[in-house]
Amino acid sequence: MNTERVIGVDLGGTKILAGVIEDGRVLQTVEHPTPTTSQDALFDGLAAAVLELPLDGVEAVGFGIPSRFDYRTGFALGAVNIPLREVDFVAEMSKRLDLPIGVENDASCAAYAEHVHGAGQGTSYFGTLTLGTGVGGGIIFAGKLFHAWTELGHMVIVADGVPCQGACAGRGHLEAYCSGTAATRVAQEAIGPDATARDLIEQHHPALETIGHYLGIGIGSLVNIFGLERMAIGGGFGIAAFEQLLPAARRAVLREVLGDGGRDLQIERAQLGEAAGLIGAGLVAREVL
Ligand SMILES: [Zn+2]
């Protein structure tokens, strides 16, 4: 592996995490609250975070953004919690930084990092699903990051099902059944108004079997579309509930996937935790060199 030094930036709804990265090792980071007053303030804040880091030897900057990203045009198409809407992200950052700019959706960044440095190593067809506040995901296709919206959490798994979360007007999406937020809703119905997803896990509650089933339905469709060899489950809820979700998820995968694909699919925990987004943004930076 080459030893390019890059900067990765993980843009979240509440914080900007930027770091100098070399060969997947994070050498130094800075963290700032995400400016949300205007789009210009957001871009200025991103540039300021990068410029606070030592730039000597840095060859490119990669951004993981919580937005659909159009790889053809460089446009960020819209984010839920931050002021990014139909804007040429690459051009805006190029005005502020004299370095090559790479951009990718944040969940795709995390999948990319898991493929190169974590749970996806050694595979060519690999997917991640991150079960947290929402559900995110990314796909490695033929050994390369699949550059698309990959809003895997907004895949329909139940026709006309329960309403999705946040700004999504859809129904029956994976996110509405398998996110930590959805699990907390289930906990409140099953246990009581103060219960959370964590109570389901601590009580080994049978409702987790239902959530695991829905997860497996979603995974099954992804395997049928992409021919995945391995799927990694991450996110706060996904990691904590992994063992309890897995049996029902596995049964659903066996039922839904064509041929022997379900039996052959490996389902594992993601390995990189919250660092995945930052490390993946660094990998995206390397792509523009
Ligand atoms: Zn949705």
129 alpha carbon – ligand 1 mean position (Å):
14
Distances (CA, A) of 232 to 2, 43, 182, 187: 26, 32, 20, 24
Instruction: Please give the Cα distance from 8 to 112 (Å, whole number).
Output: 13
pTM: 0.94
For 11-22, the pLDDT digits (tens) are 998 899 999 999
112 alpha carbon – ligand 1 mean position (Å):
23
Q: Cβ distance 168 to 152 under 8 Å?
A: no
Q: What's the pLDDT at 13? A: 85
By CB atoms closer than 10 A (0-12, 13-18, 19+), residue 25 is: exposed
288 alpha carbon – ligand 1 mean position (Å):
31
Q: What's the pLDDT at 2? A: 53
For 224-259, the pLDDT digits (tens) are 999 999 999 999 999 999 999 999 999 999 999 999
Residue 82 clears pLDDT 90, i.e. is over it: no
281 alpha carbon – ligand 1 mean position (Å):
24
Question: Which homologous superfamily does the CATH classification assign to the domain defined by 5-110+275-287?
Answer: ATPase, nucleotide binding domain (3.30.420.40)
Fold of 122-271: Nucleotidyltransferase; domain 5 (3.30.420)
Instruction: Please give the Cα distance from 116 to 136 (Å, whole number).
Output: 18
For 113-163, the pLDDT digits (tens) are 999 999 999 999 999 999 998 999 999 999 999 999 999 999 999 999 999
Continuous segment of H or E residues that includes residue 140 = strand 135-141
Asked if the domains 5-110+275-287 and 122-271 are classified in one and the same CATH topology, the answer is yes
Percent of the chain at pLDDT above 90? Answer: 90
149 alpha carbon – ligand 1 mean position (Å):
13
106 alpha carbon – ligand 1 mean position (Å):
17
Q: Residue ranges of the domains in the chain?
A: 5-110+275-287, 122-271
**Token pair for residue 35?**
């400016």
For 202-228, the pLDDT digits (tens) are 999 999 999 999 999 999 999 999 999
- What's the mean per-residue pLDDT of the chain? 95
